[in-house]
Chain A
């Protein structure tokens, strides 16, 4: 806001200097004084007027003024963005005034499509955040800056790793299989990198367009909301700012795994349970004894034994973070510039991981003639993130699981230290079991990213009322990932030697937009017409190289030819978009507002004839508080109602799906991979835009001179012609085809409340609250006349589970689909033959005790979980059985009932304190880490420790196997937890947890040095602060963190927690200096 404010101040000042020449001096005395803001900085251009008289003046560049007035007069101080103040002169000669900023600034400028508007004139649903809000709580990334702060905008970070993927959803996801990310526009240029492409220090404002009347001007891709980022511009006078902070982070939570004593007992129990020995002979315990000793010695050997906590070894470090930012800002009347440099350097809490980035931005604005302005900006970002993280598809069981499950003690003939050795753990049944440190050290991954964006444009004032703007830009984004799999990595062992992959992807994009704006303000009419055209093209090229079997890992990426075998794949394509658009804004008497827009959008992703679609929208608003009948003394200072309706589109599907093409495959002819071709897809020439229709009703209320502001939005979004990769009859030779299918609905309410509770000269207290409710529903999955579809299941693909999510008409997206747990099998569930043979198999269950099809291979069901049966299926012997499909039911829902944020800010003299909390309520998390971490498919694996008593079949005193029904019942009278499972896990409601949380996200305490000290130091501003992030999370969730989404790439499988990198708590200390 600073820039626009300063510009406004100057314009207004200029205006008044001219005006003043005509002012006739009256008698009376001269009053002098200064007008300052809350930071004690003089405000130039403040309007002073004498109540009831046509006398006035404005403050000079330093905020000082002189005015002549009578003793009885009242001076009114007013300035855009600040609260009005009235002061009776009395006998004062010098009056210093501190103006208080309006908390809710109706005159604030909001960026809407291709244009700006005052907030008070808005017709649609827009949430904004300004630079001044961002400055209060410094953050490392722009995404963190908006987390929880904007109603209707849900931000989910996939995991705690530095540079982790972030999911932003505006009013829920509309599409079923397509990308639901909003469209990002940075300084007028559509960006793929989104908020990652800007330094938070460089952001002037972020405006989120949520309803169709706002988004449809972006037509295509506007269906999931539009996030417009405006970066800082230059302003008058030289100003140099340094922002820097340093700090550290620690893991915020670790999971409890079994202690060595519990661990060895579990190993024993496992072996006992695994035994098929007949009751007459004892189970063969020799393997366990040779590793860990006899049962009787366990308490002596392991109760207080030292052990290795692998979570500490991997995530235990205190990671350092630092950030430095320099901004140079300046210019004269005709030339303005802004330079920004930001460097971030963060370590991850996991060993061998970190993130570094450099951001450079330069912006230049020049008035060439009185009617022609030129502007240009360039920003360049380079970053590298290191570390393989915890999620790696090539590690079958996952790295985090290995960290949790790797054995904590060596046992009787292996020292704990030897567990750090690089050799394969030959005791393990899993032949590729390395210790977690070896795993982390043997997979090296560096992700390099560079992004260069250059924009330039002209503004031409063709006449007084007509402005023509042209903005052109290019963007080059390069992502390059180097992964090295050293000798002791899973991948290398499978491939037979040190291996590497290089993925290099470049996108080149250009964009050009032309707009012509006509403004007419006459009497009570205010008309604004805009016509525009935009075109952009993106060109992607990608190369992947797999190089297997290097002699060693000394030189890898320097010379990939050192590998024995190579596979190179590449891809290259272009896509383009061409649009024409127009918008009319009309306001009558400044209180009846009307807007209509139309965008005509064409995309290269559809066949000719289907390429173009129109996206119309219209909105009306009524500012009731400006009506003459409105009682001016009522506490209501602002009241506006709005309604909008419109449509916007989505075309985020792969290219060329409308045509039949051939792609390459291989046939092993003559011991060579000989190139062949096959039909790529079943082209669908009928493909067209997915379209979202939005209804939005909004109310803006300001109370007590706008010190209390309230915004409510209600919306219904209907998305039709969903672009969905649909299953088709495979008789065609294809199993799926992209089609326009069915529809979804999102309904919701968003409330925002801002209050300036206390506002005195030395002490202020502000608070803000936003809360969003969204209900998602799949309305239909039908396509064509005779094809009705009611539901389908999808697989999240984290483990062996198939069909663990359900897509069902009438229900929301993100339903978790599995079995309901119904207690555990006890000794009473088995026939006598089970005790006689020692075989607790499904076949030996009592006739009326069902088992689940998934357990049919189980050799020891005793103590295992029971699956609740909803069907009356029976197996081939007529025994009741929980069937694979029919007994699956909906066991979880990833959609929160509501989410939001609360922030409060206190200032006392130079001190400021900001506290920010955010929450999510009512969503479920599918804790797959818990599911896998609680099974013991292989021996020598630790498991997560849970509270409760586990079912056992081992005699506590002797370690002997118990095969007596009564003794088993006695031993397990209080058992609530199932025995450790040795089989692949089954998804039951046990793994579904409440993901509600309230996070004490940030506390920041700052101090601004007083003006007198600053003057001596020749500084304009100096602020020191300390901030803590992620300080505490109130939640019942048992995993690392309830804010998690391990399967970001699939829209239909949200809320899964598998192998997610643990989140950290962070403390930083910073300084903010302006010269």
Chain B
């Protein structure tokens, strides 16, 4: 081979190699779906939908923060901890005590999570209707895709609804985010966002089937769209903290409703009609047993018979990944030590003592919703036996590890019922009487349905109950009933805000707990003299008595204050050293200021077009 040939052969080799390199650098991902290859099949659309649900279950939203950090301190619950431990701490305690500011932790994460969810929903809402199968698929495929599209609209509405009830007017974006876009958007009026999502939900109703037409699972069905639409209408029509967005003048900051009265009225009509539709449809009913309803939740069972929980948000992960498993029964729940049979529950939320006594005799909801026992190291090293709580440290107990087989972990797999049928009944009663400006027979009937289920032994008494005929009087009944029925389910604080009752409810709570504290005396407690009628004259005892009885699962507690017999042990109940959490209860609350959160500094830093809430 001469030199020329050699050179030629080598150059040819090089050339050959280089030619084959034109697409050498264009590599496709193998562990991710490429945008252009996605949204081709119904499965793709379904996966994108579950991705949106995944946002909702994140710890920052319904996995914990929204329902367990942001819904307190209210008139029924407050954060755990007394004078020293329950003080504002720059994060969840500052949030609960209304001592939050723009650098308070645990706020920006929810903001970010909402917009993350919104973007996921925006992608779905943008892409699904453009899919070939959406128009040209089989009937079954079209049905599936329409439902997914409707659920996407509903989920996006939920994220915006949460942003509005926490921050008021917020940046509004309805398109999938693309590189190069300007994301630094200013606040948009909450009224126009509400109107937009109400319109979306109205469209979603027809797209999503009723629960009896599809599998009974943790997805949104038509009843849920309607119920959530009703809820959003009540909030859109109600009070919120408002100010002049143009000027940002602090003097314009006040609790107010939107100023177009006609629209408000229309919103109540929508709410009423949607609730009426659900009631008329008849597929969602009350579970006759309030206890079974909640036991099912803690046992991870979806009730197929009554379908009272119109929409349960699904929490599950085998390895208990917090963002997929949630903190129901683990943060909110009966306080229990890590070494107990059921593992740790922080018991991060305490029930207000007067609320415990506010329940009527015979109301089955009290002992389902509230636990008067806990599992601490102090009780017993076997820890399977509870001991009584202190009156100022009672725990919300709708989600209980003791009802499930789930042992040790920080998180649980309990679902969160985002919408229940009893809520629909009460929303109906509220909106129907609001429209009539007075209690209506339909409204009263709906209210009584809720009450009768709660008090099966007092059906006839409830039948003969009468209520104020004026709207304000009747609303007070509903406000109270919603507390009993929907306690600790995540909407109490913002409900009080939409009625513009938060300030008075906090004040009332202080007065009532004071009245209870005043009963305390070292020489034997005195009789109660507060405003709870059925409690007047009752001597709230210093100590209660308890016994571990093998026939009772955890502990038997006698609240009367007298020792039944010598086998019973004593435990402090109303005792001065356990009241210190009232000194920090809602300490930072300021009317016409604390009803919304400020925009976290971290958010404004990267989004300077968002103006701060006046006063921060």
Contact = CB atoms under 8 A, between A and B. Distances in A.
Contacts of A1033: none
Contact of B413 (A573, A668, A733): A668
Contact of A670 (B90, B178, B181, B314): B314
A611 B25 contact: yes
Given A463-B3, A661-B29, A669-B218, A731 B317 contact: no
A54 B31 CA distance: 74
Interface stretch (B16-24, B270-278, B359-367): B16-24
Interface string B49-60: 111111101000
Given A661-B29, A857-B87, A496 B3 contact: no
A797 interface: no
A685 B179 CA distance: 7
Given A533-B14, A671-B300, A730-B112, A684 B179 contact: yes
Interface string B307-322: 0000000111111010
Interface in B26-74: 26-27, 29-35, 38, 44, 47-55, 57
B218 A670 contact: yes
Contacts of B317: 666, 668, 673
Nearest to A603: B25
The secondary-structure label for the interface of chain B is loop
B47 A731 contact: no
B522 interface: no
Interface in B100-134: 103, 111-112, 115-120, 122-123
Interface residues of A, number: 86
Interface in B384-412: 407-410
B84 A859 contact: yes
Nearest to B587: A876
Given A462-B10, A535-B17, A576 B27 contact: yes
Given A572-B31, A668-B317, A885 B103 contact: yes
Interface residues of B, number: 91
A729 B51 contact: no
Nearest to B409: A496
B17 A533 contact: yes
Interface stretch (A261-269, A674-682, A751-759, A893-901): A674-682
Nearest to B10: A468
B603 interface: yes
Contact of A575 (B27, B117, B120, B409): B27
B413 A512 contact: no
Interface string A457-473: 00010110010101000
Interface in A685-714: 685-686
A668 B316 contact: yes
A677 B316 contact: no
A470 B17 CA distance: 12
B219 A462 contact: no
A856 B87 contact: yes
Interface stretch (A147-155, A400-408, A583-591, A652-660): A652-660
Given A604-B26, A669-B218, A676 B90 contact: no
B115 A733 contact: yes
Contacts of B219: 669
B171 interface: yes
Interface in B1-19: 3, 6-7, 10, 13-14, 17-18
Contacts of A290: none
Contact of A574 (B27, B177, B337): B27
Interface string A729-759: 1111111010000000000000000000000
A40 interface: no
A205 B168 CA distance: 67
B185 interface: yes
Contact of B21 (A535, A567, A665, A678): A535
Contacts of A665: 50-51, 54
Nearest to B580: A276
Contacts of A514: 10, 13-14, 17
Point out which of B14, B21, B34, B50 has the most chain A C-beta atoms below 10 A from its C-beta: B50
B75 interface: no
Residue of B3, B18, B29, B33 most packed against chain A (CB within 10 A): B29
Contacts of B87: 856-857
A676 B48 contact: yes
Nearest to B119: A733
Nearest to A463: B3
B120 A731 contact: no
Contacts of B591: none
A734 B3 contact: no
A762 interface: no
Interface string B395-436: 000000000000111100101000000000000000000000
A733 B126 CA distance: 15
B338 interface: yes
A28 interface: no
B606 A679 contact: no
A732 B54 contact: no
B88 A730 contact: no
A678 B54 contact: yes
Interface in A809-863: 853, 856-857, 859
Contact of B29 (A573, A664, A666): A573
Contacts of B25: 576-578, 602-604, 608, 611
A1075 interface: no
Nearest to B171: A731
Contacts of B99: 876
Contact of B33 (A493, A546, A677, A876): A677
B407 to A, nearest CB: 6
B111 A730 contact: yes
B611 interface: no
Given A533-B17, A535-B24, A727-B606, A676 B118 contact: no
A571 interface: yes
A574 to B, nearest CB: 5
A733 B51 contact: no
Interface in A590-637: 602-604, 608, 611
A565 interface: yes
Given A431-B339, A730-B115, A733-B115, A682 B177 contact: yes
Contacts of A685: 179
B33 A732 contact: no
B184 interface: yes
A731 B185 contact: yes
B588 interface: yes
A463 B26 CA distance: 38
A856 B316 CA distance: 38
B114 to A, nearest CB: 9
Interface in B215-247: 217-219
Contacts of A424: 339
A677 B54 CA distance: 9
A200 B344 CA distance: 52
Contacts of A663: 31-33
B472 interface: no
B89 A857 contact: yes
B305 to A, nearest CB: 17
A675 B50 contact: yes
A667 B54 contact: yes
Counting from the closest, the 7 A-B pairs by CB-CB distance are: A733-B119, A676-B50, A668-B316, A676-B51, A661-B32, A729-B607, A729-B183
9 contacts: A535-B17, A565-B319, A661-B32, A668-B57, A673-B318, A678-B120, A679-B123, A682-B177, A732-B183
Given A276-B84, A729-B185, 13 more contacts: A567-B319, A570-B31, A573-B27, A655-B27, A656-B32, A660-B178, A668-B316, A668-B413, A675-B50, A684-B179, A728-B606, A730-B112, A857-B84
Interface of B: 3, 6-7, 10, 13-14, 17-18, 21, 24-27, 29-35, 38, 44, 47-55, 57, 84-85, 87-90, 99, 103, 111-112, 115-120, 122-123, 171, 173, 176-181, 183-185, 217-219, 300, 302, 314-319, 321, 324-325, 337-339, 343, 381, 407-410, 413, 415, 588, 603, 605-607
